[in-house]
C-alpha cells in the first residue's frame, strides 16, 4: 500500500503518557501531524475537566469581575483571573511528548480548588432572586463586558448561571455586616477556609 495514500480516521479518546488527548474527527495523510481539539486535565469526583473548559472558567470569572466588581469569587480566585491572561497556558498540543510548564500546573491546581468548591456548592440549594439576570445584563452593557455569558433571551448561559449560583451561595454564607459574627474573617478568608476544609473530602485525579 502506498503510504502517501494512507488516511486515518480519528474520532475517539485515547490515553497517552502525559495526559488524556482528544482527537478531533479529522482525516490525516501520511506525514501529517494529528490535530488535538482538547486535552483532559483532571477529574473531580465524577466530572472531568479539559483544557478548553478551564479556559472557559477563566473567561467567565473575568466577565463576572467586570459585571460585578464586588464579586467574592473574584477575590478568592484573583490568581486564576490574572494568571489566565497568559494564553500559552491554554495551548492544546501533544502533552505525551512535551511536559506541561510549571506555570500551567500552578494554574491547573488553582482550578482544582475552584472545581472542588463548585462540587461542594452543587449539593446545596441556591435560589436566584427574580430579576437578577436583568440586573447583570444591564451592568454588562454599562461596564462594556463580554456578552457571551448571556443567551439570545438575555438569560445566563448555563456555565455562567452555575458561576453566579456559586457567588450567591458564598455571599449568603460569608458576607456579613458585622465581621465579628464571622470570627473576624473577611468573606474571602471564610471561603478559603471552606475550600481548605473540603479539599481532602472531595476526590481528585490529575492527568499530568
pTM of the model: 0.81
Residue 7 belongs to domain spanning = 3-206
Distance CA 47, CA 68 (A): 28
Distance CA 97, CA 171 (A): 44
**pLDDT tens digits for 79-112?**
999 999 999 999 998 888 889 999 999 999 999 9
Asked if residue 167 lies in contact with residue 76, where contact means CB atoms within 8 angstroms, the answer is no
- Reference 20, options 9, 31, 10, 12; nearest CA is 12
- Reference 157, options 53, 35, 60; nearest CA is 60
Number of domains in the chain: 1
Which helix (H) or strand (E) covers residue 52, if one does? helix 51-67
Q: Is the per-residue pLDDT at 27 higher than 70?
A: no
Least confident interval from 44-58, 67-81, 108-122, 162-176: 162-176
Amino acid at each position: 500500500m502506498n503510504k502517501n495514500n494512507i488516511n486515518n480516521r480519528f474520532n475517539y479518546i485515547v490515553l497517552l503518557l502525559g495526559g488524556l488527548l482528544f482527537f478531533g474527527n479529522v482525516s490525516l495523510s501520511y506525514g501529517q501531524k494529528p490535530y488535538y481539539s482538547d486535552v483532559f486535565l483532571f477529574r473531580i469526583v465524577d466530572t472531568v475537566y479539559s483544557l478548553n473548559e478551564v479556559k472557559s472558567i477563566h473567561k467567565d470569572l473575568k466577565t463576572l469581575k467586570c459585571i460585578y466588581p464586588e464579586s467574592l469569587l473574584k477575590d478568592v480566585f484573583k490568581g486564576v483571573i490574572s494568571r489566565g491572561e497568559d494564553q500559552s497556558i491554554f495551548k492544546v498540543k501533544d502533552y505525551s511528548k512535551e511536559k506541561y510548564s510549571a506555570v500551567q500546573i500552578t494554574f491547573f491546581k488553582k482550578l482544582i480548588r475552584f472545581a472542588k468548591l463548585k462540587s461542594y456548592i452543587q449539593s446545596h440549594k441556591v435560589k436566584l432572586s427574580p430579576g437578577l439576570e436583568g440586573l447583570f445584563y444591564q451592568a454588562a452593557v454599562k461596564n462594556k463586558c463580554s456578552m457571551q455569558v448571556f443567551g439570545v433571551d438575555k438569560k445566563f448561559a448555563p456555565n455562567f448561571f452555575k458561576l453566579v449560583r456559586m457567588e450567591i451561595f458564598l455571599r449568603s454564607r460569608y458576607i456579613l455586616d458585622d465581621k465579628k459574627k464571622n470570627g473576624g474573617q473577611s468573606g474571602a478568608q471564610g471561603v478559603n477556609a471552606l475550600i481548605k476544609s473540603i479539599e481532602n473530602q472531595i476526590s481528585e485525579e490529575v492527568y499530568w
